[in-house]
Chain A
Amino acid sequence: MSNSIHSDKIILEAKNLEAWFGDFQAVKGINVKYCERTINAIIGPSGCGKSTYLRCLNRIHEEIEGTRVSGEVLLEGKNIYDKKIDVVDVRKRIGMVFQKPNPFPSLSILDNVVIGLRLQGITKRSILMEVAETCLKKAALWEEVKDKLNSLGTSLSGGQQQRLCIARALAINPPVLLMDEPTSALDPIATAKIEELMNEIKRDYTVIIVTHNMQQAARISDYTSFFVYGKMIEHGLSSDIFTNPKEKQTEDYISGRFG
């Protein structure tokens, strides 16, 4: 159980957040606050809207045709759904790692890591190399790829690709990092490395992570939310949720009697 001391500053807040696919409502009335430099786990049965909720937090949900979002998401107090806000800026500040590793197939390992910086107009090779090395080290991949930075990103194994995607997300240095089951495709060793990494980056980042692995949630997170059918049933300190949940449904789920 993580019990580090963190600040109480709210970095991200969802207010009555709802999301639809056409007529189907996948996320219902979410209200939650995330403190700076914390790890926040989201658990819940398959299909309950965890990914959809996460994808509302960096406005990727709206890229699917026929979808809709209502409510507010406040990043440092500013609603990212405000008409005046540029969605591109939002996504630069709220990074995302997807469930399925998705490196760019035509780019080298190095270019995959620094592509976000290139987008921001940074082209100086020394800076790019430095960031690439730092981020690949943070993602526990450096030792494995340092001699083949120019090979294709897709030439790596699935687990390595996922760590590459984490390095890519870290490279643009977003204060908030969303992770959708980042370790579901990884072996226990790579998973341990990623968990270590999360503990590490917690010093600078706020992480919101969807996971099906209850032990993982209990091990690494400060807070945990439990979702069912698009609703957030319970949110609280992970130490409370996993030992002494308030809701019956939560208790059933974590003790394996549900879902």
Chain B
Amino acid sequence: MLKLNSKTQDAVLFYALRFISLTVIGLLLFIMYVLLKAAWPSITHNGLSFIVKKEWNPVEDQYGALPFIFGTLVTSFIAVLIATPVSILVALFISEYLPKSISRIISLLVEMVAAIPSIVFGLWGIFYLSPFVKLTLAPFLKTYFGYIPFFEGPSFGIGIITASLVLAIMIVPTISSICRSIFELIPAHQKEASYALGSTKYEMIKMAVLTPSVSGISSAVVLGLGRALGETMAVTMLIGNSPLISKSIFAPAATMASVMANEYTDASSPLHVASLCYIALLLFFITFLSNLFAKSIVKNFSKIG
């Protein structure tokens, strides 16, 4: 067998690692290139105004991405709005209230929610959530908060809020498990410092657990947002897939991911295909930004923590 001295060994390892990491970066650039090439006809045809155009009409070969950007941002935003407090409470409950033996099981169960396939969430949404929204949630909101324009119009059970709720459930495990690991990093002496000053458990949590975790929680939320932005299957099944921009959260809409999943296979005109690829490129850009943002928060967080 070939026997290498330690210096050559190091060199081999170094070049092998460098090769592998360059391959990964190369693959990323290659995917971008393919996407860009596929989207090129639409980019040259529509330019940047693609982003602000509201018409999406394949029959007349009119393509504007605004309804989908709107759908993606709104559903993800509502999902994060719902999932964040829930996740923080779940994480606090697991790390601060449950005895260790039980907390391990519960956090495992919560994390298993993340392993449920997207299509299963979609089916559950159709069979359970959609009737719930139509028959219970929508009438309730309309009765008590009907004067708010977000709750205008009829609900068919399929639409923005239904997709947002499923997204929220899907990202709770992500956000809560990151939050829990952040909370568990808080040293016992910090909590004791707080208790020793005569704080209640609630005050201790506010002072010694939540305050130093703010940036960590924010990055968990942004990572959850990233997951919601790109989620496809469940949303496609529940959002109604109409390229509309409406005030009401009960109205059907479409997201960037859902329009691709929904229309790509039937797209006949070359411009249609290119426009879908253009949307893919935009989605890629948005999730890239949100990931970058999460990373920058984590960096700041590790500086303090």
Q: Which residue of B lies closest to A91 (CB)?
A: B198
Tell yes or no: A106 within 8 A of B by CB: yes
Contact of B195 among A91, A120, A168 (CB under 8 A): A91
Let me know if B191 and A104 touch, CB within 8 A.
no
Let me know if B198 and A98 touch, CB within 8 A.
no
Q: A60-B192, A100-B189, A119-B203 are in contact. Are A105 and B212 (CB under 8 A)?
A: yes
A133 to B217, CA, bound (A): 34
Which A residues touch B211, using CB under 8 A? 104, 106-107
Which A residues touch B100, using CB under 8 A? 65
State the Cβ distance, B186 to closest chain A Cβ, in Å: 10
Let me know if A106 and B190 touch, CB within 8 A.
no
Tell yes or no: A189 within 8 A of B by CB: no
Tell yes or no: A225 within 8 A of B by CB: no
State the Cβ distance, A255 to closest chain B Cβ, in Å: 34
Let me know if B197 and A102 touch, CB within 8 A.
no
Which A residues touch B212, using CB under 8 A? 104-106
- Size bin of chain B's contact surface: 20 to 34
Type the 1/0 row for A114-146, where 1 means its CB is closer than 8 Å to any CB of B: 011001100000000000000000000000000
State the Cβ distance, A131 to closest chain B Cβ, in Å: 13
- Point out which of B99, B195, B196 has the most chain A C-beta atoms below 10 A from its C-beta: B196
Which B residues touch A92, using CB under 8 A? 197-198
Please report the total number of A residues contacting B with Cβ < 8 Å: 28
Let me know if B190 and A102 touch, CB within 8 A.
yes
Let me know if A88 and B192 touch, CB within 8 A.
no
State the Cβ distance, B214 to closest chain A Cβ, in Å: 8
Type the 1/0 row for A26-69, where 1 means its CB is closer than 8 Å to any CB of B: 00000000000000000000000000000000101001110000
Q: A106-B212, A106-B304, A115-B207 are in contact. Are A169 and B196 (CB under 8 A)?
A: yes
Tell yes or no: A89 within 8 A of B by CB: yes
State the Cβ distance, A29 to closest chain B Cβ, in Å: 25
Tell me the residues in window 278-305 of chain B with beta carbons closer than 8 Å to chain A beta carbons: 304-305
Q: Which residue of A lies closest to B101 (CB)?
A: A65
A168 to B198, CA, bound (A): 12
Let me know if A58 and B196 touch, CB within 8 A.
yes
A250 to B230, CA, bound (A): 70
Which B residues touch A98, using CB under 8 A? 189, 192-193, 196
Q: A105-B304, A106-B211 are in contact. Are A91 and B197 (CB under 8 A)?
A: yes
Tell yes or no: A95 within 8 A of B by CB: yes
Tell yes or no: B88 within 8 A of A by CB: no
Q: A105-B212, A105-B304 are in contact. Are A119 and B197 (CB under 8 A)?
A: yes
Type the 1/0 row for B269-280, where 1 means its CB is closer than 8 Å to any CB of A: 000000000000
Tell yes or no: B229 within 8 A of A by CB: no
Let me know if B197 and A63 touch, CB within 8 A.
no
Which B residues touch A172, using CB under 8 A? 197-198
Tell yes or no: A73 within 8 A of B by CB: no
Tell yes or no: A209 within 8 A of B by CB: no
A119 to B204, CA, bound (A): 10
Q: A65-B99, A65-B100 are in contact. Are A96 and B189 (CB under 8 A)?
A: no
A172 to B197, CA, bound (A): 8
Tell yes or no: A165 within 8 A of B by CB: yes
Let me know if A119 and B198 touch, CB within 8 A.
yes
Let me know if B207 and A63 touch, CB within 8 A.
no
Q: Using CB atoms and an 8 Å cutoff, list the residues of chain A in contact with chain B.
A: 58, 60, 63-65, 88-92, 95-96, 98, 100, 102-107, 115-116, 119-120, 165, 168-169, 172
Q: Could you list some 28 contacts between A and B, CB below 8 A?
A: A63-B195, A65-B99, A65-B100, A91-B196, A92-B197, A95-B197, A98-B192, A98-B193, A100-B189, A102-B190, A102-B192, A102-B193, A104-B193, A104-B207, A104-B208, A104-B211, A104-B212, A105-B212, A105-B304, A106-B211, A106-B212, A106-B304, A115-B197, A115-B207, A119-B198, A119-B203, A168-B197, A169-B197
Please list the 9 inter-chain residue pairs (A to B) with the smallest Cβ-Cβ separation, ordered nearest first.
A92-B198, A116-B197, A96-B196, A91-B198, A102-B189, A102-B193, A106-B212, A106-B211, A88-B198
Q: Using CB atoms and an 8 Å cutoff, list the residues of chain B in contact with chain A.
A: 99-100, 187-200, 203, 207-208, 211-212, 214, 304-305
